[in-house]
Structure 1
Amino acid sequence: MTLGRPETSGISEGRPRRPHPLGERIRTRAAAAAACLVLGAGLLGGAVTGSWLTGGSADEDGARTAYSAAGDLWHSLPVDRLFPPTVDGEGAGPGGSDRTWTRIAVAPDTGCRDAFDPLLRKALAPVGCLRLLRATYTDATRSHVTTVGLLFTRADATAMAALRTRVEAQGLDRRPDLMPRPYAAKDTVAADFGDAQRASWTLSVLTDAPVVVYAVSGFADGRTVTDPQPAAKATASGATSAPAQAGLGHEAKGLADRVERRLRTAVASATEKPS
């Protein structure tokens, strides 16, 4: 067995340098370890603080991603994904009867200038109008027509939540002087579907997407309706108004619900992580 060569770098005046005491070396190593621990804790704390500053939990990040994805769908999704040529409404009619709606026209994507009654346009103004998508459908008998719309806003989730609270608290979605307007396409059964022909409507402010979903229904023969009713009232048990008896509340609500579902499905697909 051989020993390593002795340390000679500290020899002076013919006397060997004294080796470092064992305790001193241990204290040095302990100090270094403590410094690393403090540094690591600082980095970890900085990372946590950074996550707070940039949005917090993964759930919140995912919610923001879905919200942003929903706001982009108006220009990235084919029209048939949101407004398919045919919509099946199983159980959507009066008494749980089935409905089938056929698309007869798609409006060019536009702003919101002429899409709502003036008071409704004013109520929606705080969230802004980024883009409006609309399509008009008719039922299987071609006696009813319904315009369904998706208003993509410029608002964040907080503003959408505030609008929804106001709409619900003040009943703005149930007032006949705050109604969405139909899209009356020429040379179709909806050609005479104007403001005076509106019979029932529904409007929903989403809070997990910058979107307002609505639908408005009427008779295809162009008859004037003097007592339009919101879909919630026209679909109530025992309702006897003309819109209720004709099932026009069910037409508006059924189409709006199914278009909203398609929107949510599209958002889920857009935010799905590849496996």
Structure 2
Amino acid sequence: MTFAEPEGIGGGARAWVVRVSPRVAAAAACVVLGLGLIGGAVTGSWLIGDSGDGGARDTFTAAGGLWHSVPVDDLFPPTVDGQGAGPGGADRTWTRIGVAKDSDCTGAFDPLLRQVLAPVGCERLLRATYTDATQSYVTTVGLLFTKGDAPAMRALASRFTKENLGDRTDLMPLPYAVKNTVAADFGKQQRASWTVSVLTDAPVVVYAVSGWADGRTVDQPESAERAMESGDTTPAAQSGLGNEAQGLADRVERGLRKTVTSPTEPPA
């Protein structure tokens, strides 16, 4: 897997917190049934034939090595289709405008979120930023490959659930700004909505954070789960930025799950 110089569009710079709610549980069931993910992060089993303990352990280990054994275009496709991912079931299409060089987690998270994630460690962090078809919104999606074993991932997921950490604005992920693109000004103050999902059957944390492409600051950020609730009138909700973050995170997670069942090459 090669992360060379970041890539951009149009001549620019070339370059998994489980929230177990009824919506999430229902979404996970839909995936297992092959009906697709309607909304909310998936934390269920990998879609593989062997459901025994040995098979689960093997899959957990294999998933942890995907960051260096799978091409970047498989993890973060240049174009992501989001049928029904927008408000009211509208379709979405996201175009990748930049991929960050793979890195450790130094400076990649605000201090409090870094502290919360510390028990599972950081093996490698992969990030990409996308924009919607109208280039009105920008969304960074990240894959944090941890050093945690299965019990550690379950403990972290349980903490997020019991303490409602997924709704705390002081635990928002940081965006990845891409120079000379519509995401050039996508910084801490531009974060409008976010989602974080701790996978319990793989050492991965999937997250996404969205904002406006014009660089406006956001006074009232809101988690994607809340922003997608019917009747919500916050700017993030009315603009569909919760859908942007959740929809893109869901589809990148689905791609990761699909990849672990048939990786391009065995992990090195």
**TM class, shorter-chain normalised?**
0.7 to 0.9
Aligned with 1:256 (options 228, 249, 259)? 249
Deviations along 1:56-104, one digit per CA (max 9) or x if unpaired, are: x981110011000000000000000010000000000000000000000
Q: Which residue of the partner structure matches residue 8 of structure 2?
A: none
Greater relative CO (CA pairs within 8 A, separation 6+): 2
Q: Say how many residue pairs are matched.
A: 217
- Percent of pairs with identical residues: 69
Aligned with 1:226 (options 219, 237, 240)? 219
Structure number with bigger Rg: 1
Q: Distance in 2 between matches of 1:166 and 1:80?
A: 33
| 2:167 aligned counterpart, secondary structure | coil
Name the TM-score, length of structure 2 as normaliser. 0.79
User: Contact (CA 8 Å) 1:65, 1:271: kept in 2 or not?
Assistant: no
Deviations along 1:148-172, one digit per CA (max 9) or x if unpaired, are: 0000000100000000000111111
Residue 266 in structure 1 maps to residue 264 in structure 2: no
Deviation of residue 270 (structure 1)? 3.6
| 1:173 aligned counterpart, secondary structure | helix
List 4+ stretches of structure 1 deviating above 2 A: none
User: Contact (CA 8 Å) 1:229, 1:243: kept in 2 or not?
Assistant: yes
Residue 113 in structure 1 maps to residue 131 in structure 2: no
| 2:166 aligned counterpart, secondary structure | coil
Q: Distance in 2 between matches of 1:121 and 1:135?
A: 19
Structure 1 alignment gaps of length 5 or more: 1-56
Deviations along 1:28-74, one digit per CA (max 9) or x if unpaired, are: xxxxxxxxxxxxxxxxxxxxxxxxxxxxx981110011000000000
Name the TM-score, length of structure 1 as normaliser. 0.77
Q: Distance in 2 between matches of 1:58 and 1:192?
A: 45
Q: Distance in 1 between matches of 2:177 and 2:107?
A: 12
Residue 125 in structure 1 maps to residue 118 in structure 2: yes
User: Contact (CA 8 Å) 2:70, 2:263: kept in 1 or not?
Assistant: no
More helix by share: 1
Residue 204 in structure 1 maps to residue 209 in structure 2: no
The AA in structure 2 aligned to 1:109 is: D
Residue 178 in structure 1 maps to residue 139 in structure 2: no
Deviation of residue 271 (structure 1)? 11
Mean Cα displacement is larger for which, 89-98 or 262-271? 262-271
Q: Which residue of the partner structure matches residue 238 of structure 1?
A: 231
RMSD: 1.6
Q: Distance in 1 between matches of 2:51 and 2:89?
A: 41
Structure 2 alignment gaps of length 5 or more: 1-49
